[in-house]
Structure 1
Amino acid sequence: MQFVWGAAGRKSGGEESHHAGDLGHLDEKAAADALRFHRSFAAYEPTPLRALDHLAQEWGVGGIFVKDESYRFGLNAFKVLGAAYAIGCCLSQRLGIPIDEASFELLRSAEAKQKLGTITFVTATDGNHGRAVAWAAQQLGQKAVIYMPKGAAQERVEAIQQTGAEVIVTDGNYDEAVRLSSRMAEQHGWQVVQDTAWEGYTEIPRWIMQGYTVMAAEAIAQLQEKTGRTRPTHVFLQAGVGSMAAAVLGYLVNRFADDPPLAVIVEPAAADCMYRSALSPDGSPYAVSGDLHTIMAGLSCGEPNPFAWEILREHAAAFVRCPDYVAAQGMRLLAAPLGGDPRVVSGESGAVGIGVLAELIRDGRQAELRERLQLGADSVILCFSTEGDTDAGQYREIVWDGKHARPSQDR
Structure 2
Amino acid sequence: MKDGFYMAAVPKAAVGADARAFLSVAAGERAAAYHRSFPAYTETPLCELDKLAGILGLTGLYVKDESCRFGLNAFKVLGGSYSIGRWLAKQLGISEAELTYDKLTLPQTKKQLGKLTFVTATDGNHGRGVAWTARELGSHAVVYMPKGSAKERLENIRAEGADATITDLSYDQAVRHALRKGEENGWIVVQDTAWEGYEEIPRLIMQGYLTMAMEAVTQLGEAVPTHVFLQAGVGSLAAAIAAFLTDFYGDQKPVITVVEPNGADCIYQTAKADDGQLHFVTGDLNTIMAGLACGEPSTIAWDVIRECCDYAVSCPDWVAAEGMRVLGNAAGADPKIISGESGAVTTGLVVAVMTRPDLKWLKDELKLDEHARILCFSTEGDTDRKNYRCIVWDGHYPAIKIV
TM-score range, shorter chain: over 0.9
**Alignment match of 2:19 (pick from 13, 16, 22):** 22
Matches within 5 A, 1:307-346: 307-346=300-339
Q: Deviation at 1:259?
A: 2.5
Q: Deviation at 1:284?
A: 2.0
Residue 121 (structure 2) pairs with residue 124 (structure 1): yes
**Alignment match of 2:346 (pick from 343, 350, 353):** 353
CA contact (8 A) 2:233 2:294 kept: yes
Residue 396 (structure 2) pairs with residue 403 (structure 1): yes
**Alignment match of 1:6 (pick from 7, 10, 26):** 10
Q: Secondary structure at the match of 1:122?
A: strand
Residue 258 (structure 2) pairs with residue 261 (structure 1): no
CA contact (8 A) 2:11 2:274 kept: no
Q: Secondary structure at the match of 2:397?
A: coil
Q: Deviation at 1:407?
A: 3.2
Residue 78 (structure 2) pairs with residue 81 (structure 1): yes
**Alignment match of 2:208 (pick from 208, 211, 223):** 211
Q: Secondary structure at the match of 1:257?
A: helix
**Alignment match of 2:190 (pick from 193, 198, 202):** 193
Residue 97 (structure 2) pairs with residue 93 (structure 1): no
**Alignment match of 2:33 (pick from 23, 32, 36):** 36
Unmatched runs of 5 consecutive residues or more in structure 1: 9-15
Counterparts of 2:286 and 2:15, CA distance in 1: 33
Q: Deviation at 1:117?
A: 0.3
Name the aligned partner's letter for residue 112 of structure 1: T
Counterparts of 2:285 and 2:252, CA distance in 1: 36
Q: Secondary structure at the match of 1:194?
A: coil
Aligned to 1:151: 148
Residue deviations 1:51-80 (CA, integer Å, cap 9, x gap):
000011111111000000001000000001
Name the aligned partner's letter for residue 3 of structure 1: M
Q: Secondary structure at the match of 1:351?
A: helix
Residue deviations 1:109-165 (CA, integer Å, cap 9, x gap):
111111100110000000000000000000000000000001110000000000110
Q: Secondary structure at the match of 2:123?
A: coil
Q: Secondary structure at the match of 1:256?
A: helix
CA contact (8 A) 1:7 1:17 kept: no
Q: Deviation at 1:298?
A: 0.2
CA contact (8 A) 1:283 1:313 kept: no
Q: Deviation at 1:19?
A: 7.0
TM-score normalised per structure 2 = 0.97
Q: Secondary structure at the match of 1:349?
A: helix
CA contact (8 A) 2:10 2:272 kept: no
Q: Deviation at 1:258?
A: 1.7
Name the aligned partner's letter for residue 333 of structure 1: V
Q: Secondary structure at the match of 1:167?
A: strand
Aligned to 1:11: none
**Alignment match of 1:65 (pick from 48, 62, 69):** 62
Counterparts of 1:309 and 1:202, CA distance in 2: 13
Q: Deviation at 1:21?
A: 5.0
Aligned to 2:103: 106
CA contact (8 A) 1:18 1:314 kept: no
Q: Deviation at 1:20?
A: 3.5
Q: Deviation at 1:369?
A: 2.5
Counterparts of 2:26 and 2:108, CA distance in 1: 29
Residue deviations 1:201-225 (CA, integer Å, cap 9, x gap):
111100000000110110010011x
Matches within 5 A, 1:202-241: 202-224=199-221, 228-229=222-223, 231-241=224-234
Residue deviations 1:306-344 (CA, integer Å, cap 9, x gap):
111111123212111111100000000001111111100
CA contact (8 A) 1:354 1:383 kept: yes
**Alignment match of 1:378 (pick from 371, 374, 383):** 371
Aligned to 1:13: none
Residue deviations 1:197-247 (CA, integer Å, cap 9, x gap):
1121111100000000110110010011xxx32x21110000000000100
CA contact (8 A) 2:11 2:271 kept: no
Cα distance change on mapping 1:111 and 1:320 into 2, 3 Å: same
Name the aligned partner's letter for residue 70 of structure 2: F
* Pairs aligned (count): 399
Counterparts of 2:11 and 2:330, CA distance in 1: 34
Counterparts of 1:100 and 1:236, CA distance in 2: 33
Q: Secondary structure at the match of 2:251?
A: coil
Name the aligned partner's letter for residue 52 of structure 2: L
Name the aligned partner's letter for residue 166 of structure 1: D
Q: Secondary structure at the match of 1:357?
A: helix
Counterparts of 2:10 and 2:15, CA distance in 1: 11
Counterparts of 1:403 and 1:116, CA distance in 2: 49
Counterparts of 1:41 and 1:88, CA distance in 2: 11
Q: Secondary structure at the match of 2:68?
A: helix
Q: Which aligned segments of 4 or more residues in structure 1 are displaced greater than 4 angstroms?
A: 16-19
CA contact (8 A) 2:19 2:307 kept: no
Residue 233 (structure 2) pairs with residue 245 (structure 1): no
Unmatched runs of 5 consecutive residues or more in structure 2: none
Q: Secondary structure at the match of 1:279?
A: helix
Counterparts of 1:336 and 1:17, CA distance in 2: 44
